[in-house]
A and B are shown apart, each in its own frame.
Chain A
Amino acid sequence: MEILRGISVAPGVAIGEAVVLEAEDYRIPYRIVPAEGVADELSRLASAFEKSIEELDKQAVWLNAHLGHDAANVFEWHIGVLKDERLRGSIEALIRDEHAAAAYAAGTVMRKYQQRFMQMSDPLLVERIRDVQDIERRLLRNILGEAREDLAHLSKPVILVAHDLTPTQTAQLAGTMVAGVALDAGAATSHTAILLRSLGRPGVIGLNDVSARVSGGDIVIIDGANQLVIANPNDATLDEYRRREVAFVRLADELDELKNLAATTRDGHRINLFSNIEFPREALVGIAKGSDGIGLYRTEFLFLRPEGAPTEEEQFEAYTEAIRGADGRPVTIRTFDLGADKYTQQRSYEQERNPMLGLRSIRYSLQNLDMFKVQLRAILRAASHGQVRLMFPLINSLMEFRQAKMTVHDAIEDLEEAGIHVRKDIPIGMMLETPAAAIQVKEFCREVNFISVGTNDLIQYLLAVDRGNERVSQFYSPSHPAVLHVLRDVVRACTSGQVDCSVCGEMAGQPLYTLFLLGLGLQTFSMAPSNIPEVKKLVRLVTMAQARRVARRALGFETDRQVTNYLRDETRKVLPEDPI
């Protein structure tokens, strides 16, 4: 069993036998023609251009109808190039002046252009090589009349493994039984990636040598969400993934049913259900399936890759992708919450004894201002693409917030000086996740634009329990009366301070606590997309009066067990068949 890590271009699980695509080699039959043959070659070229443009026009129409604008737009430039008179002129010149065969002339000219792109420094422009290769391939096919690569006649789902796929080849996957794709090459911004996403098939690219390691017929699992490709899985792994495949499909169906319905209580109160995401592409998953926005984008996941810290451009691309994926809906981007087990530990001289209480998160950022500013610049630039809010994690004191906010203003100034205009009034808020922040919530309300309660860490710090330590994890409970009371006080303070308050920890996505949180007056919940349908279902079945009653009663108990039992009973009354 081999586990390969790459870059995911589309979430989901796909399992199948591998089909490995060999590199295509167009065999050009001859290079030079006799003088009498030149007229023929010129007319072959002309027909090939015509046919290629016709094909692309048709494809654009089909793609627009079936996969949307983005897919269709990928080929817009291809069509432009084929209509480019200068380009055609240079190919014709070779035929006329040097008696080159049409295929040879076309290949030569296109390859020269590919070389020019290869010399460019901008990664987006270097990607054009694939487009030019695709155009070359299409032209050559129409000149030479070769039969097309045929994946159309598969009888069972397969995983396509290749060094690379051109946009054309990717678009052609639409009618086939290719269930997932694994590629050696590829950047997440390439046209191939766009098409894979539009197709909705899980794909992992940038695997370097998957096409060498996998043989045709091998069982391959594509795990889009975790950016893994698993070749020849053992039985346990295969079973686990079959289960996930089913769950993913079931989730997809459920979400589909509820996606167009609003999360409104029976007595008409509109609740916002947002999604928590770690990767930009998850924005599409959440939003396309009915979430109202992104309540928490955990940017530190950009660090989880072999190359290390992401550059400003890489961050900018990721944030822009997420924002565009949200398609105009609100997006809250949280600055790096690194610490404890990740990046910061690897870089410190000695392992911290108490990473949870150590140099992590905003503290780390404020002590590494260069890195922090790079991130802020990337976020500020990306923010012009949508409705974006900026949020700091683990804010524990007013000084910390003010310092962080000042750094944002510094970043804005830097950008202005560089001639880049960004929104100066971007909303800036905080994660409330420490006891000190909870106690000072009134003061914070005067300085922040919004508050999001991070219940995961809040509960850990409040109850002095490490959730990851199996010896004490049973003491970690959102039902502890202290937690409920702190939440009540925070929401109350935000309401009177007129500061937008949301909840974004796991508790927000657990149906057991939905009634309680609703009853406190919370109107925005952010959770993993998979939790949205259940919570939405619950919200739509209750009234605010009901929820308020539940919250009041729950606050009167003394132990977490009493609270849990009570909440379970109340939730069961509303959702009798669902396991709580």
Chain B
Amino acid sequence: MSDAGAQVVRDVKIANTEGLHARPVMRFIDVASRFQSKVSVMNVTRRGERVDGKSAMQMMLLEATQGCVLRIEACGADAAATVEALAALVESGFFQTEDQSPTTKN
């Protein structure tokens, strides 16, 4: 990864029962896209490849179900803030901008 700044890595666990389905994926890339740093994510539990954390398709392909540990890596000037924000999002169960619609089953 290019290092126009720091490289920050953090592991987080997917706690919510439906895992990384459509809405969490979109929440994730929305947050990731606000930062300059490059973001990559790897599903440690499934020993998968690293994917682009700003890509809707690749994030879905992570197969990140409940209990999976994701390794979030950011590279760039605002890497620390990026990882902080993304980790907080995952750890909160993606309820940040949830509008609690009853039958959401993405």
Instruction: Give A residues with C-beta under 8 Å from B.
Output: 68-70, 73-74, 76-77, 80-81, 83-87, 113, 116-117, 120-122, 124-125, 128, 131, 189, 191, 194, 197, 284, 316, 320-321, 324-327, 381, 419
Contact = CB atoms under 8 A, between A and B. Distances in A.
Nearest to A72: B101
B102 to A, nearest CB: 4
B87 interface: no
Given A73-B106, A77-B106, A86 B25 contact: no
B68 to A, nearest CB: 10
A125 B59 CA distance: 12
A80 B56 contact: yes
The interface residues of chain A, by DSSP majority, are classed as helix
A191 B104 CA distance: 9
A422 to B, nearest CB: 11
B57 A81 contact: yes
Interface string B19-52: 1011101100100000000000000000000001
A316 B16 CA distance: 13
Nearest to A116: B61
A125 B103 contact: no
A113 B67 contact: no
The interface residues of chain B, by DSSP majority, are classed as loop
Nearest to B99: A69
B103 A381 contact: no
A87 B103 contact: no
Contacts of A125: 19, 21, 60, 63, 65
Nearest to A384: B17
Going nearest first, the 4 A-B pairs with the smallest beta carbon separation are A80-B56, A77-B22, A324-B102, A69-B101
A80 B29 contact: yes
Given A84-B57, A325-B103, A124 B21 contact: yes
A87 B29 CA distance: 14
B56 A122 contact: no
B96 interface: no
B63 A122 contact: yes
B84 interface: no
A121 B19 CA distance: 13
A197 B18 CA distance: 20
A194 B105 contact: yes
Contacts of B92: none
B55 A86 contact: yes
A381 B66 CA distance: 12
Nearest to B56: A80
B24 to A, nearest CB: 10
Given A84-B57, A86-B52, A116-B61, A324 B23 contact: no
Given A84-B55, A122-B19, A77 B104 contact: no
A284 B103 contact: yes
Contacts of B99: 69
B18 A128 contact: no
Contacts of A120: 63
Nearest to B30: A80
- Tell me which of B55, B65, B99 has the highest count of chain A C-beta atoms within 10 A of its own C-beta: B55
A381 B18 CA distance: 11
A409 B50 CA distance: 40
Nearest to A317: B105
Given A70-B104, A128-B60, A325-B103, A80 B26 contact: yes
A121 B68 CA distance: 14
Given A80-B56, A124-B19, A73 B102 contact: no
A87 B106 contact: no
Contact of A77 (B54, B60, B102): B60
A449 B21 CA distance: 36
Contacts of B54: 85
